[in-house]
Chains A and B, each alone.
Chain A
Amino acid sequence: MAGVSTAPARARGGLRIGAGDGVRVAVIVALFVFCFVGLPPLLSAYWIDVSTSVAIYSVVALGLNLLMGRVGMVSLGQIAVLALGAWIGARFLFGTGLPFPVVLLIDGLLTMVLGTLIGLPALRLTGLYLALITLMLAGAISVVLAATNFPNGGGGFKGYTDTLQGSANVRRPDIATSDPAYFRYTLVCMALMFALALWHVRAKPGRAWAAIRQSEPAALAAGVNMTLYKLWAFALASFMTGVAGALLAAQVNHLYTFQFRAIDSILLLAVVLMGGIYSLWGAIVAGAFMKLLPALLDNWGLPADLLTILFGVGILQVLLTAPGGVAQQFPRDMARLGGAIARLFKRGEPAREAAK
């Protein structure tokens, strides 16, 4: 998105560790340990399920976050890619006895290949057309999935059967069959995906993406291999979404096409924008917006449609006034609030000095 290029260009530092990084790492580790150890005993089965969804959709959001925030490409079909990942994941989990992590990896790689094929037109088409072609391909994917259905333990290539025996659960990893254990498993996968993203952003690909986002002619002149790095971004986002798809398949046990509605791709775009596309934290915020807010609203007895409207307003608000989203806005607001409070306490001091 060329129009909103107020991103912090922190990429130049490479993998060197800056002054603030110590604190940042400590905060991240503490948060992770809290979620891993402390959260499951505190929550009921329902909220553990919601938290697992948040973790999975954070990974999906992370893919789109990277595409939009780092490279400046918009994909309107990420949920279709997620559905594709879920299909492949379920097919492998039913059809093979491979260990779960291996399936995750295979799923990620296969989705990556397919996503890269979708990304191929990205090389030649400019922003708007790329977004539209992803919309078209998402439409095509959902038509195919509606016709083939998701694997449910049947035979053949589709792995789908409409008989009663075809209601088997998608299997989970042996070490994480219970819901709390599966939440922890998902959390670890999510952390790995974020680490992968962070490495990319801070290393050479991140610098190349930043150059492409700022100006394609300049990037070209600087010798950035645009073809390679644009495709790389698509491949990375698809890989993450594929892994998330396999995790989702094992979380929900039964996959149906209505879990991947066309509107969800737009909602995902909205939450990713609202979360903030210039920070990886934004992806976690987006995951929470996507899955935690509907659960909360449901809990309070409010219609989920309110949220759809709110996200619509959110898109407009972010594009008009706050391109950084919550991830940038929140710390800034907190700093402003802190400043205001500090000023409140200091107000008396100059007066006292004057009195002396």
Chain B
Amino acid sequence: MPTWEEFKPFIVTGLALGGVYALSGVGTVVLYRATGVLNLAFGAVGAMGAFIAWSLIDKGTVPDGVAFLLCILFGGVVTLVYGLLFGPPLAGRDPLVKATASLGLALILLGAMSWIWSDKARSLNLPTSTHTFEVGGVLVNWTQVIAFALGVAVTIGTGAFLRYTKLGTAMRAMASDREITATLGVPVRRVEAVAWLFSGLLSGASGLLLANLIGLDAATLTFLFISSLAATLIARLQSIVVTLIAAIVVGLVNALITPIFSISQYRDMAPFVLATIALLWMSRKREISFTRGAG
């Protein structure tokens, strides 16, 4: 067993990773609750945004800051356009069909990425990654701080937004029943568009952060989203606070296994194992559910 000293740096990595997982998780849950769509292309959108930022910086046509902003904007725009195009025709379908359809978007983006940016080692560095400070003998860089802080801040902000604003109330109402909400005079399409845009912006942001923390690779970034999906599953796609907690636990467990050599190479299993156990535990009492997909 490694000593406490060896574990310490991985607490920082784990918290940063957990923060990004929380960002993706909150983006996924908000969209799912408002529109009933589990967007499985979330990771691919963020990855493509990061690639675009890399290209812009590589060519040197725009300042770095603008490139990072464009990455986040790209996430928002692509997700919004997908939502506007395919949201309405699929609105009445099973959640499973909606989730499957988003895999179509994921494939389109993955194909485009591998076509435009062929597999080659790249790195994307936020300026904050080079600024470091020390806490208790562990070197921390500002990107890690931003990742964790943003994860917590977005969760709290979104929670407040859903609770206290009119739009947030409308979103919560739509999570309960889309038809009745529409009957009450809520502009359903517009509220959904806001949810798509918000979720898309978060996908851009988490893509940018992950490209920094993990590395710029299309497949890795796309499928890291599955790890963050584990956190949302533990929260049953409902609670964003539980998503945050689960995301941080998943990130921490994932990172803290690294120094334990005997199981180190299996550390990426952590999210999946945790999510599977959580799902089985939560469904232990239910025999058969008649609600399709929702519960």
Contact = CB atoms under 8 A, between A and B. Distances in A.
A and B: bona fide binding partners? yes
Interface in A294-341: 303, 305-316, 319-320
Given A139-B223, A305-B114, A128 B293 contact: yes
B64 interface: no
A252 to B, nearest CB: 21
Contacts of B139: none
Contact of A312 (B106, B114, B115, B293): B106
Contacts of B90: 319-320
Contact of B112 (A137, A305, A311): A305
Interface stretch (A11-19, A31-39, A162-170, A266-274): A266-274
B100 interface: yes
Interface of B: 38, 86, 89-90, 92-97, 99-101, 103-112, 114-115, 219, 222-223, 226-227, 229-230, 233, 265-266, 268-269, 271-273, 275-276, 279-280, 283-284, 286-295
A220 B95 CA distance: 22
B89 A306 contact: no
Contact of A133 (B38, B97, B115, B279): B279
Contact of B279 (A129, A270, A319): A129
Given A140-B273, A220-B288, A319-B101, A308 B107 contact: yes
Nearest to A132: B233
A21 B230 CA distance: 47
Nearest to A315: B104
B115 A303 contact: yes
Nearest to A123: B288
A interface bracket (residues with beta carbon within 8 Å of B): 35 or more
Contacts of A128: 38, 95-96, 99, 293
A347 to B, nearest CB: 37
Nearest to A124: B283
A309 B227 CA distance: 24
Interface string A262-285: 110011011001000000000000
A-B CB proximity, top 7 nearest: A308-B111, A312-B107, A315-B104, A312-B108, A309-B111, A305-B115, A3-B93
A319 to B, nearest CB: 5
A187 interface: no
B273 A306 contact: no
Contact of B103 (A2, A216, A220, A266): A266
A175 interface: no
A312 B286 CA distance: 35
Interface string A191-232: 000000000000000000000000011001000001000000
A305 B111 contact: yes
A124 B286 contact: yes
Contacts of B93: 3-4, 319
B254 to A, nearest CB: 11
A105 interface: no
Contact of B290 (A133, A216, A266, A312): A216
Nearest to A135: B226
B233 A136 contact: yes
Contacts of B283: 121, 124-125, 129
Contacts of B289: 124-126
11 contacts: A2-B96, A121-B280, A127-B292, A136-B272, A262-B219, A266-B106, A270-B104, A305-B111, A308-B107, A309-B115, A316-B101
Nearest to A270: B107
B100 A269 contact: yes
